[in-house]
Amino acid sequence: MKIMMSAGEASGDLHGGALAAELKKLRPDIELFGMGGSDMQKSGVRIIYDINNLGIIGVVEVVKHIPFFFRLRDTLKQAMIDEKPDALVCIDYPGFNMRLAHVAKELGIPVIYYIAPTIWAWNKRRAKKIVRDVAAVASIFPFEAKAYKEAGANVTFVGHPLADTVKPTMPREKALEYFRADPDKKHILLMPGSRGNEVRGLLPTMLDAAREINKKAPSQFFIPRASTISLSLLHSIIGHNPGIDIEITEGARYDLMGMCDACIASSGTATLETALMELPTVLVYRLAPFTWVLAKHLVHVKYAGLPNLLLQREVTPELLQDEVTPDHISSLVLPWLLNPAAREANVEELRDVRKALGNGGAVRNVASLVLKTAGDQEIT
């Protein structure tokens, strides 16, 4: 059996890698290939296009690169024609993957969509295209599954994969030693995103906020490098004299979260990960001005952060667009560092996030759905 996979961002690559590993467990002889990154490659996926070359966000930015995306779609279409996969798994990245799903449908290749487009938040017209082109939707949120069922899609609630994977691998004391953490300082995580544009737009403000925080609560700051972000980009922004104690880290992501006292993170999967690790986090995000105006008219949800959407209350404070300033960020982080009771109150709220994500087993459920959709009659 041969399965093609398509992920366009670091988070999708992470989920794709876990899915590929599970598919290999269930069918050791399965052949996996497609678009992805290092996590998928490590799990046995033959990468035909490396997503390190991607990093575009927002309407204006995407429009500038339309010819590139057409060429990329044609490249992957040719791969489908040449390789004749039994199924295509699209992982997140809806602007591109929905078009790729349509190509696969026209070629007679069944499509499974994992981390599906957020029709519950905006662009409900996408639901009709999903119903038209996608054989099976693997839904990771209960409210998402309901929305897709109402739209007429063949949807299965599989649970959220992070409920299985987000956990430390070492005791906190060992993590402190592993990351060379200063025991006399607070430890703060900076997560500026997995796209180049995000990092360039958010990290300088995060660093300014870090300097403000450091004045009142001496701290050590850690940046876990996303696989799609180069060290040279991070070093160019941090500079040679950042004025703060800062470390760029590789690997052991959840152990790092487990030893930190607070986090400042770009909106996205990272905020769900920190919530599952019970790490108080401030969500920050900016879009290009035109994209922001458009989003305000199109997006119909109260919150930007996944933990807040899941619980329908703000357990992860959100700063968006012009609100993203060093003063605003530091005013939200400092109480967690200076008042243990304030931090514990937030941690108690974050515990509800894991309770809301189901009983686990999501990756195994998705792998079984992929194999069934691809025609494997032995999977139960």
Q: How many CA atoms lie within 13 A of 360 on its CB side?
A: 6
pLDDT at 291 over 60: no
- Residue 213 gets the label, from left (phi > 0), alpha (psi -120 to 50) or beta, of alpha
Q: What is the pTM of this model?
A: 0.71
Strand partners, 343: none
Q: At which residue do the structure tokens 């108080």 appear?
A: 280
pLDDT at 304: 77
Contact status, residue 303 vs residue 322, Cβ threshold 8 Å: no
Q: Which two tokens stand for residue 73?
A: 């779609």
Cα–Cα separations (whole angstroms), residue 212 to 122, 215, 326: 36, 5, 7
pLDDT at 240 over 80: no
Q: Which two tokens stand for residue 174?
A: 């060992």
When comparing pLDDT for 294 and 312, which is higher? 312
| Angle subtended at Cα 355 by Cα 316 and Cα 121, rounded to the nearest 5 degrees | 55
Give pLDDT tens digits for 17-52.
999 999 999 999 999 999 999 999 999 999 999 988
Of 14-18, 121-125, 256-260, 321-325, least confident by mean pLDDT is 121-125
Q: How confident is the model at residue 355 (pLDDT cuts 50, 70, 90)?
A: confident
Of 171-180, 286-295, 353-362, least confident by mean pLDDT is 286-295
Mean pLDDT of 107-134: 85
- CA 279, 145, 312, 363: dihedral to nearest 10 degrees? -10
pLDDT at 119: 75
Helix, coil or strand: residue 286: coil
Give pLDDT tens digits for 179-209.
999 999 999 999 998 888 889 999 999 999 9
